[in-house]
Structure 1
Amino acid sequence: MAKAITADNDSKRQDGYQGGNSIAFWLVHVACALVLFTGVSWSAVAVGLATYWTRMFGITAGYHRYFSHRAFKTSRAFQFVLAVLGTTSVQKGVLWWAANHRNHHKYSDLPEDLHSPIQRGFWWSHVGWILSPDYDETLFERIPDMAKYPELRWLNQHYLVPPVTLAVALFMLGGMSWLVWGFFVSTVLLWHSTFLINSLAHVYGSRRYDTADTSRNNVWLALLTFGEGWHNNHHHFMNSVRQGFFWWEIDVSYYILKALSWVGITWDLIEPPARVRIPAAADARQLKAA
């Protein structure tokens, strides 16, 4: 049974992230200080960027646009690849993540929204909710279409296997320097870039569409997160594979998914039609050419 998100358990919510999840989270941050001993090299920084970009795609294209919103179709094999890539980001299991995200859209910025900054403030929406052991349970009833796959259930339960495997592989291939830059530094940057969508994209930015929540478009967050910062667009038409609705809205995950569709790896990409993209008659003239 899902826990109710109400004012009655505010104190528990604020204290709940002081457990084991929180300790591991902060240890990864502390491990970034090892750069003082390993130093900086072009290869290590390149590996750090590569693991950041690859895992950001796993989160944005996989966990978010595919598993949470079914914004495109793919094979069962590539579905598993996306799940593994997303799981290496150390943001818990794929089914856990997608189930909670679907709930977020159902109750966006209402008391039942688990990570609304409007309801619970910056800190809770940024890291508190994901560290709280009170919400570790995966509610499979929220995601029955994906929970039917045994390989996804296994991966959801053993979500530490992919990131630990990645960390070991980096150490074996490049020593401590690759481990620090390619895993610890990259993971911390990945975490906070992703978390900023929850904590800031409902607070700072522009609102093209009059959605029922406070979602906003933020170009800086979009650049950090391969297009996720076009958050008001997303809440206006959440099943779209394309979150940058117009050519000037950079959306790297969409570009990659579109390219994959050209070679048959993805298909049936849901794109926002013109009637959805035009926010109001007053803006139609300005946006007509887009």
Structure 2
Amino acid sequence: MSESTPDSLPLPAWRRVLRAALLWFDTGADAVDGDPDRIDWLRVAPFIALHLACLAVFWVGFSWFAFWTAVALYAARMFAITGFYHRYFSHKAFKASRPVQFAFAVLGAASVQRGPLWWAAHHRHHHRHADTEHDIHSPRHGFFRSHMGWFLTRRAFATDLDAVKDLAKFPELRLLDRFDVLVPVLLAAGLYALGAWLESAYPGLGTSGPQLLVWGFFVSTVVLFHVTVTINSLAHRWGSRRFATRDDSRNNPLLALLTFGEGWHNNHHHFPGSARQGFAWWELDLTYLGLRAMAALGLVHDLKPVPPALRKARPEPA
């Protein structure tokens, strides 16, 4: 679909807005043609609004209930991203039943980081081309580009189904991926409704519908997004390199703590297939501990270990 009419005249503003709005709700609609590396400001307007909505904390105020709701949703959704969007969907580092697979796909979708097929396709592309000219979120292209600029471009919008044929065979995952805005909207509505009920039923909590919406959804989601993408922008720049991989990946303990283990990024690029990214006993990997707990409960199984031969450090060549 072209941005211009057959006479090469620009489309009217109302048509461009309407087409962008369609893409907010249905990512399977035809994308707008044009420079694939240019930020599509109309399409990313909701993403910008998500950030601006955080300023409403000065209006809705603070309560410990709202704060801990934000923390709990950060933790639950971070685990869904790191454990399932990343280690399961992207790398197949363990096995899960179809109901468990879908449940954590829904929880991951609540993170507002697009659908599971989109996420996995882009991440697999990253591993094929890490820190080359084809890696669209390599820090070699600059901090802003690697942190979030890539996410806002037309090139990054589509889901490459050829890269995730193993996942695209599940119609429920394809539906979730196509209408990826649905789960976040339901989460936001649910938080508002819960806050409104608590304000009436338990006024001592000091919360309300708007407050729980702002803290539990907007603030928690924005923090979650920016912490997640530090693995693109910072974990390929700052940290140590135990293994001489072909990319710039680093191990960063602070990022590992914030991302539940993803900060052991040089380990991960050395052997992406492992369910564990903290290879040493002292490398805290909360996601792996969570997966071990799920395995003990029979919810997941066949967690792939790190082969002993690959644990030995491989220093950079002199």
The reply to whether TM is greater than 0.5 is yes
Equivalent AA in structure 2 for residue 31 of structure 1: A
Superposed displacement of residue 125, structure 1: 0.8
Superposed displacement of residue 258, structure 1: 0.5
Superposed displacement of residue 80, structure 1: 0.2
Larger radius of gyration: 2
Equivalent AA in structure 2 for residue 278 of structure 1: K
**1:52 aligns with one of 50, 74, 93:** 74
Residue aligning to 2:91: 69
What are the Cα deviations for residues 156-182 of structure 1, in whole angstroms up to 9, with x where unaligned? 001011111100000000111110000
Superposed displacement of residue 135, structure 1: 2.3
Residue aligning to 1:6: none
**2:156 aligns with one of 135, 138, 150:** 135
Residue aligning to 1:168: 189
- Contact 1:21–1:132 (Cα < 8 Å) also in 2: no
List, as ranges, runs of 4+ consecutive aligned residues in structure 1 with deviation greater than 3 Å: 11-14
Residue aligning to 1:150: 171
2:119 is aligned with 1:123: no
The percentage of counterpart residues that share the same residue type is 52
Residue aligning to 1:39: 61
Give the 3-state SS of the residue equivalent to 1:109 in structure 2.
coil
Q: How does 1:189-208 map to 2 (within 5 A)?
A: 189-208=223-242
Give the 3-state SS of the residue equivalent to 1:201 in structure 2.
coil
Superposed displacement of residue 133, structure 1: 2.4
- Contact 1:241–1:254 (Cα < 8 Å) also in 2: yes
2:48 is aligned with 1:29: no
Unaligned runs of at least 5 residues, structure 1: 1-10, 282-290
**2:308 aligns with one of 271, 274, 280:** 274
Q: How does 1:141-290 map to 2 (within 5 A)?
A: 141-174=162-195, 175-280=209-314
- Contact 1:60–1:253 (Cα < 8 Å) also in 2: yes
**Cα separation, 1, equivalents of 2:314 and 2:227:** 31
Superposed displacement of residue 13, structure 1: 5.8
Give the 3-state SS of the residue equivalent to 2:262 in structure 1.
coil
What are the Cα deviations for residues 180-235 of structure 1, in whole angstroms up to 9, with x where unaligned? 00000001100100111000111111000000001000011111111100000000
**Cα separation, 1, equivalents of 2:35 and 2:237:** 24
- Contact 1:19–1:133 (Cα < 8 Å) also in 2: no
- Contact 1:201–1:215 (Cα < 8 Å) also in 2: yes
Unaligned runs of at least 5 residues, structure 2: 1-33, 196-208
**Cα separation, 2, equivalents of 1:137 and 1:269:** 30
**Cα separation, 2, equivalents of 1:161 and 1:226:** 26
- Contact 2:261–2:286 (Cα < 8 Å) also in 1: yes
Structure 2 CA distance for partners of 1:73 and 1:21, relative to 1, 3 Å: same
**Cα separation, 1, equivalents of 2:54 and 2:109:** 20
Superposed displacement of residue 137, structure 1: 1.2
Give the 3-state SS of the residue equivalent to 2:155 in structure 1.
helix
**Cα separation, 1, equivalents of 2:213 and 2:228:** 21
Structure 2 CA distance for partners of 1:168 and 1:259, relative to 1, 3 Å: same
**Cα separation, 1, equivalents of 2:160 and 2:36:** 18
Superposed displacement of residue 92, structure 1: 1.1
Equivalent AA in structure 2 for residue 146 of structure 1: L
Superposed displacement of residue 93, structure 1: 1.4
Give the structure with the larger helix fraction. Answer: 1
Superposed displacement of residue 62, structure 1: 1.1
Give the 3-state SS of the residue equivalent to 2:236 in structure 1.
coil
Superposed displacement of residue 280, structure 1: 4.3
- Contact 2:77–2:108 (Cα < 8 Å) also in 1: yes
- Contact 2:138–2:146 (Cα < 8 Å) also in 1: yes
The answer to which of 40-49 and 23-32 deviates more is 23-32
Residue aligning to 2:204: none
Residue aligning to 2:10: none
Question: How many pairs align?
Answer: 269
Residue aligning to 2:24: none
**Cα separation, 2, equivalents of 1:157 and 1:108:** 26
Q: TM-score, normalised by structure 2?
A: 0.82
Q: TM-score, normalised by structure 1?
A: 0.90
- Contact 2:244–2:314 (Cα < 8 Å) also in 1: no
Equivalent AA in structure 2 for residue 126 of structure 1: H
